[in-house]
Amino acid sequence: MTDLRYDERGLVPVVVQSAADGAVLMLAYADRQAVALTLETREAHYFSRSRSEIWRKGATSGNTQRVAEVRYDCDSDALLYLVEERGPACHTGERTCFYRTLAGGEPAARAVEPGPAACAVGGAASGRVTEAGAANLGTTLQALQAVIVDRLAALPAGSYVRKLHERGVGYVAQKVVEEAGETVVAALLERDDELINESADLLFHLSVLLTERGVGLDAVAAKLDERRR
């Protein structure tokens, strides 16, 4: 991009934000080649200042970032990647690198508290699912479906949602089956990190399938609420 203003090292800062719910995930840097690779492949590429080399997010961890959109600021000296994330952005395992306050505190609410087992039926494990976490998941899924609705309306080039749409509802349904199978396998093998990643993939593809059929998550929530009574 000829409009971008790189610093004296040939780098530009990149703010990485979730396309699903707007959460700020990380801050990184990119040089011209990393930006070009990102635009070409739609996979997030950055430049490591410590190793002096280009790196693709998730190349070793599997926590990749599919770039839905690249924006630049009014001064043309900073970028914003809107990404469809697969796994946590932070090397600590947190979803976002910005999980601490200046006072050293942890986030006030988490979907799952840390422990050898993330959650259990009947309290058999040390972790537990919180009510706040359940509410956050609902908010996240609603935000995700809103993004999917927008993608299906605009059908932007390079969008993964567009590619799914173009393959048809049958293909999307098959992806749901595929992701469900991988989720089950991860659970049976007791690989919790994979279980979390595969569950996220399953929920994403299920959201696409529901949206393709014109079914809102509020209808699903209402049915679950009805069964809970």
Domain presence at residue 77: yes
Domain presence at residue 115: no
Sheet of 12-18, strand order: 24-30, 12-18, 79-85, 65-72
Domain presence at residue 113: no
Q: How far is CA 137 from the centre of its chain?
A: 13
Identify any residues that bridge with 48 across adjacent strands, giving them in sequence order: 53
Range of the domain at 180: 121-228
Distance (Å, whole) CA 120 – CA 145: 28
Residue 136 falls in which region: left (phi positive, over 0), alpha (psi -120 to 50) or beta: alpha
Q: How far is CA 182 from the centre of its chain?
A: 18
Residues 61 and 31 both lie in one domain: yes
Domain presence at residue 112: no
Residues 1 and 103 both lie in one domain: yes
pTM as predicted: 0.48
**Helix axes of 217-228 and 131-154: crossing angle, nearest 10 degrees:** 150
Identify any residues that bridge with 72 across adjacent strands, giving them in sequence order: 79
The CATH number linked to 212 is 1.10.287.1080
Given 81, 107, 133, the domain boundary residue is 107
Would you give per-residue pLDDT tens digits along the chain (229 residues)?
558 899 999 999 999 999 888 888 999 999 999 999 999 999 999 999 988 999 999 998 889 999 999 999 888 899 999 999 988 898 888 888 888 887 655 544 443 333 333 333 333 333 455 555 555 677 778 888 888 988 898 888 888 899 999 999 999 999 999 999 999 998 998 888 889 989 999 999 999 999 999 998 888 888 888 887 7
DSSP string over 152-201 = HHH--TT-HHHHHHHH-HHHHHHHHHHHHHHHHHHHHTT-HHHHHHHHHH
The CATH number linked to 88 is 3.10.20.810
Q: Among all chains, which residue has been given the structure tokens 């690198």?
A: 97
Given 52, 72, 107, the domain boundary residue is 107
Per the structure, the count of domains in the chain is 2
Distance (Å, whole) CA 121 – CA 187: 14
Residues 91 and 137 both lie in one domain: no
| Own/partner long-range contacts of 175-179 (Cβ < 8 Å, ≥24 apart) | 175/205, 175/208, 176/202, 176/205, 176/206, 176/209, 179/205
Residues 130 and 82 both lie in one domain: no
